[in-house]
Amino acid sequence: MHRSMWVALLVVGFGVGGMLCFERTGGLDRTVALTSAPAEDTLPASFSICGEDRRMNCVVDGDTFWFKGEKIRIADIDTPELSPPRCTAERVKGEAAKARILALLNAGPFSMSTGLRDEDRYGRKLGTVSRKGQSFGEILVGEGLARRWDGARRSWCDS
């Protein structure tokens, strides 16, 4: 009887902990699921910087781009905002992130995979983008141009 009480407390503890983590990150609206990348990079395209015209294959900022007419949000990162940036440091780093994701997208065929949700609250498709199994998001994080998305917005002006 003593053992079953400990098991029950352990199960309840994990359940409460999971619920608290879920709530802290904003629930499903902010949940990002990491998935394995497809075996082959099969999505070739030529990208430019988005302008006012029709958006087919273009980059909006460091974590958002249009691909075949659909707006894509890179699900595993957060990059500095460009519309509008809150300080000069955010603008400079945001422009660098945008240029880098443009270069990565134009470097050849890539893969895109989705997690538990395939769309965010703004209607953007959520995807992890990679080439040869290497996440573009992780590349930007490694270069200091992005942060891993943890569900919380943090200022780029304080760092």
The tokens of 60 are what? Answer: 């909006």
Q: How far is CA 42 from CA 21, 74, 119, in A?
A: 36, 17, 21
CATH number of the domain bearing residue 121 = 2.40.50.90
Residue 14 forms part of a structural domain: no
Note whether residue 25 is domain-resident.
Answer: no
What's residue 3's pLDDT?
Answer: 59
Q: What is the mean pLDDT of each run of 10 residues along the chain (159 residues)?
A: 53 47 40 49 90 88 93 92 92 97 96 80 87 95 94 82
Structure confidence by residue, pLDDT tens digits, 16-53: 444 444 344 444 333 344 444 455 788 888 999 998 88
How much is the pLDDT for 4?
A: 58
Print the domain residue range for 91. Answer: 48-148
The structural domain count of the chain equals 1
What pLDDT score was predicted for residue 152? 79
Within a domain: 8: no
85 inside domain: yes
Residue 129 belongs to a domain: yes
Query: Does any domain span residue 123?
Result: yes
63/94 Cα distance (integer angstroms): 10
Q: Which residues of 40-78 are buried (b: 16+ CB within 10 A; e: fewer)?
A: ebebebebeebeeeebebbbbbbbbbbbeeebbbbbbbb
Assigned domain for 37 exists: no
**Neighbouring residues of 107: CB distance < 8 A, sequence distance ≥ 6:** 131
